[in-house]
Amino acid sequence: MTGDLMQLARVHGPGDVRLDDVPIPQPGAGEAIVRVAACGICGSDLGFIAQGGMGGGEPLAEPLPIGHEFAGEVVAVGPGVEGVAPGLRVAVNPDDGYIGGGGPEGAMAPYIRITGAKVGETLFPLADHVDYAEAALAEPLSVGLHALRILDVQAHHKVAVLGAGPIGLCTVAMLRHLGCRDIAIFDRVESRLERARALGAGLAVNVAEESLPDALARYHGEGVRFGTRFAETDMFIDCAGSEAAFKDVIAIAKYRARIAIVALYKKPAAVDLWKMMANEILVTGSIAVDRKAEFAEALTMVAKGEQDLSPLISHHMDFARFNEALDLAANSDLSAKVMLTFPETAA
């Protein structure tokens, strides 16, 4: 493959994403080359494209490669790589090297260089029966699981998920994996709420039809503290990034409720600090950049087939239809997770 070119999706500026012709990577010391078989389109990918970069406001010094939810086959290894050989089927944890998130490599391409190629850290071998597209779900599933681990969610907890996009849906799947049953989820898109029900949410509410506080009080139970109603919800996972929804959560949260913010807020949000103080509400962020254990656990869940994860993936689209796939992924009424697929000998 030396000297051959491939197409790599890179962001050049706001709204400007291109499939650039770049050399097919070659492995150096400690590196492996993976032929990408499937790569999911993440909301952060769409955000990078819209913003023209990582969101810090600075113009790009060079084009930004995207794509971080992926699986494929090792095709070459460099010196010093142990326990990895061509032909190994893997899912890749993108944290090391910030793959598709500010680093020099992106997985929306037929091949990708993996630095620090090591089993159990960057490379996670796949059982023969695991489909590449399902394996690529290990990344968003581990994002949800990371937030749940930060909050120490247990099976008996009553949990609310804000937003039924791909991360919200993956969070529902991981809540079921942890044994939770009292799961409520909120969105405005009925097709996504249907997917949440299929994944095991006990209550899926369109907030255009019923408010979050009313629905939670009805589903999880309610009480009164300091003259104000609260819901008996233990944990909230914010995958929506809506200031209005977050205000509803703070308004209805009970004493010592816990909240994890997974969503990407695009501007500062007002918070009722008196409510947080008076009810000792714990709010934490969750960015999932150090989650090797969660990645492995999510992939093990996928391999065991303990849940039907088919509702998570709405479309499989060939990389040749890249722009069409992006448009589809941006349409919440039509899609959940859009999975790019690659032919075995793409370049």
The pLDDT assigned to 99 comes to 97
The pLDDT assigned to 215 comes to 98
Q: Which of 70, 52, 69 is nearest to 61 (CA)?
A: 52
User: In a 3-state reduction of DSSP, which class is residue 108?
Assistant: coil
The pLDDT assigned to 55 comes to 72
Q: Is the pLDDT of residue 155 over 70?
A: yes
Task: Express each pLDDT in 42-62 by its tens digit.
Answer: 999 999 999 998 876 677 889
What is the pTM (predicted TM-score) of this model? 0.94
Q: Residue for token digits 């929306």?
A: 108
Task: Express each pLDDT in 224-240 by its tens digit.
Answer: 999 999 999 999 999 99
Q: Is the pLDDT of residue 306 over 90?
A: no
CA distances to 79, 187, 272, 319 from 239, in Å:
41, 10, 20, 27
The pLDDT assigned to 40 comes to 98
In single-letter form, the type of residue at position 31 comes to: E
The Cα diameter of the chain in Å comes to 72
The pLDDT assigned to 289 comes to 84
The pLDDT assigned to 288 comes to 82
Instruction: Give the H/E segment covering residue 167.
Output: helix 166-177
The pLDDT assigned to 54 comes to 85
Q: Could you tell me which residues come within 8 angstroms of residue 321 by beta carbon, excluding any fewer than 6 positions away?
A: none
Q: Is the pLDDT of residue 328 over 80?
A: yes
Q: Are 209 and 193 in contact (CB under 8 A)?
A: no
Query: How would you classify the pairing of strands 235-238 and 258-261?
Result: parallel
Q: Which of 125, 152, 159 is nearest to 253 (CA)?
A: 159
Task: Express each pLDDT in 115-140 by its tens digit.
Answer: 999 999 999 999 999 999 999 999 99
- pLDDT band for position 252 (cuts 50, 70, 90): very high
In single-letter form, the type of residue at position 195 comes to: R
Q: Residue for token digits 């490669």?
A: 65
Q: Are 86 and 71 in contact (CB under 8 A)?
A: no
Domains and CATH numbers, the chain: 5-137+309-341 (3.90.180.10), 140-285 (3.40.50.720)
Over the chain, what is the mean pLDDT? 95
Q: For residues 217-225, give the mean pLDDT.
A: 96
Task: Express each pLDDT in 30-45 by its tens digit.
Answer: 999 999 999 999 999 9
Q: Is the pLDDT of residue 177 over 90?
A: yes
Task: Give, to the nearest 10 degrees, the angle between helix 138-151 and helix 292-304.
Answer: 120
The pLDDT assigned to 345 comes to 61
Residue count of the chain: 347
Q: Is the pLDDT of residue 166 over 60?
A: yes
The pLDDT assigned to 262 comes to 96
- Rounded to whole angstroms, the Cα distance separating 65 from 85 reads 26
Which residue(s) pair with 11 in the sheet?
Answer: 17, 64
Q: Give the phi and the psi of residue 49 in degrees, each rounded to 5.
A: -65, -45
